[in-house]
């Protein structure tokens, strides 16, 4: 209201074409150099309508929205525009991204929708367990950027009573592409069944098309089992990067964007990200999903964070290595204890022979695990 009151009634709007660029964000560069993604007035308007749909994030006038993501990261996931369109209040955390001030902010401002990456919510969970606050105001804890482990979803919902909404998208998609909200067909499921649904990245929101393909571009079935490369298209998805030609490494000849994610799709349209193509471990000809293995590791009560990378191996070509951050109370966790725990939860050949304990997993400016740093530190070297 203050901004509107102080504005000039004769302000000359610069937009004369809805296809003009209104902003640009750079990719986070977790798998290569950052690249610029341009957004037009039209694409951001349509993205806002899709994001605010009832079966998406559904931001409404009565909401208080807290985007715990920088504005330079895919326009803070489009949430400032979603709030402006719906009339919702927006709370900006500024530099206060540590668990304790974040918990205070949510409780004080009575936040109803909070959005952030799993590392943020992992830290917040441990803070709330040690120093409880009243966060009953939160109707949706939105998680994106990378997959949240099912164990953390279960902990939030069963112990704190917080509804977790998994979402997925990319800078190139403005960014929202899918959300994971149980449908009416899932109403008869018990809590464990619903957490299985919520651990997926979800169904495409209105306007987004998905397909999965094999190595030569043939479409694969949505059977919940077959893994393939995810490709997307839609009115707010880029057709090329800023000042870069559209090349086959990221755009197909028929206009689909190649995400670099390996996924499965269920018959009812729920997507599960198995891994990034560059993060998969190929051991003895078999694929190991670092996403699933990390989720299993984080399920251990003495583990705070975990990142899995591929390391060269003379016999198997590659083997997984786990880089693990222990909780304060879990200082005595050993590699052998963790390996025994994993042996009961994943395939035997998935269990990493090498487990290293580190103080913190390196992160990008937007809170994603920076596995390039770990690879330089641990994985580059001789076979052994």
Q: Which residues, at least 6 apart from 264, have a Cβ–Cβ distance to it below 8 Å? A: 212, 223, 224, 225, 226, 227, 228, 271, 272, 274
Give me the catalytic one of 51, 154, 172, 305: 172
d(CA 75, CA 176): 11
Helix or strand holding residue 291 (H, E): helix 290-298
Q: Which residues, at least 6 apart from 262, have a Cβ–Cβ distance to it below 8 Å? A: 227, 228, 229, 230, 273, 274, 275, 276, 277, 280, 289
**Rounded to 5°, angle at Cα 170 from 268 and 28:** 150
d(CA 365, CA 70): 9
d(CA 200, CA 306): 19
27 is catalytic: yes
287 is catalytic: yes
Give me the catalytic one of 282, 334, 353, 360: 282
Give me the catalytic one of 226, 287, 334, 353: 287
Residues in the chain: 384
172 is catalytic: yes
Task: Name the nearest CA neighbour of 165 among 197, 126, 204.
Answer: 197
Beta bridge partners of 324: 306, 357
d(CA 350, CA 290): 9
Catalytic residues: 27, 172, 282, 287
């Amino acid at each position: 209201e203050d901004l509107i009151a102080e504005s000039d009634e004769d302000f000359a709007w610069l937009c004369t074409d809805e296809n003009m660029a209104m902003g640009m964000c750079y990719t986070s560069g977790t798998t290569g150099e950052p690249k610029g993604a341009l957004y037009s007035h039209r694409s951001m308007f349509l993205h806002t309508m899709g994001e605010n749909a009832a079966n998406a994030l559904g931001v409404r006038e009565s909401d208080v929205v807290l985007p715990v993501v920088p504005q330079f990261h895919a326009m803070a996931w489009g949430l400032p525009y979603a709030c402006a369109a719906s009339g919702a209040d927006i709370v900006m955390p500024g530099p206060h991204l540590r668990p304790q001030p974040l918990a205070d902010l949510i409780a004080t401002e009575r936040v109803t929708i909070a959005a952030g990456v799993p590392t943020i919510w992992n830290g917040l969970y441990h803070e709330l367990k040690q120093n409880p606050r009243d966060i009953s105001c939160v109707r949706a804890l939105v998680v994106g950027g990378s997959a949240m482990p099912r164990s953390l979803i279960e902990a939030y919902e069963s112990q704190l009573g917080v509804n977790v909404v998994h979402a997925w998208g990319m800078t190139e998609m403005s960014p929202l592409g899918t959300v994971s909200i149980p449908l009416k067909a899932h109403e008869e499921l018990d809590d464990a069944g619903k957490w299985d649904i919520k651990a997926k990245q979800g169904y495409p929101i209105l306007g987004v098309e998905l397909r999965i393909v094999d190595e030569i571009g043939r479409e694969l079935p949505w059977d919940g089992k077959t893994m393939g490369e995810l490709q997307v298209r839609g009115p707010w998805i880029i057709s090329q990067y800023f000042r870069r030609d559209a090349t086959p490494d990221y755009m197909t000849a028929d206009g689909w964007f190649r995400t670099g994610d390996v996924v499965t799709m269920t018959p009812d349209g729920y997507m599960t990200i198995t891994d990034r193509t560059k993060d998969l471990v190929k051991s003895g000809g078999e694929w190991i999903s670092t996403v699933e293995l990390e989720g299993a590791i984080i399920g251990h009560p003495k583990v705070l964070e975990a990142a899995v990378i591929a390391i060269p191996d003379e016999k198997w070509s590659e083997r997984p290595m786990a880089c693990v951050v222990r909780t304060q109370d879990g200082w005595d966790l050993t590699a052998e204890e963790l390996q025994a725990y994993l042996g009961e939860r994943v395939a035997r050949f998935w269990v990493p022979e090498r487990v290293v304990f580190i103080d913190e997993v390196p992160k990008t400016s937007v809170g994603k695990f920076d596995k390039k740093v770990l690879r330089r530190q641990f994985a580059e070297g001789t076979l052994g």
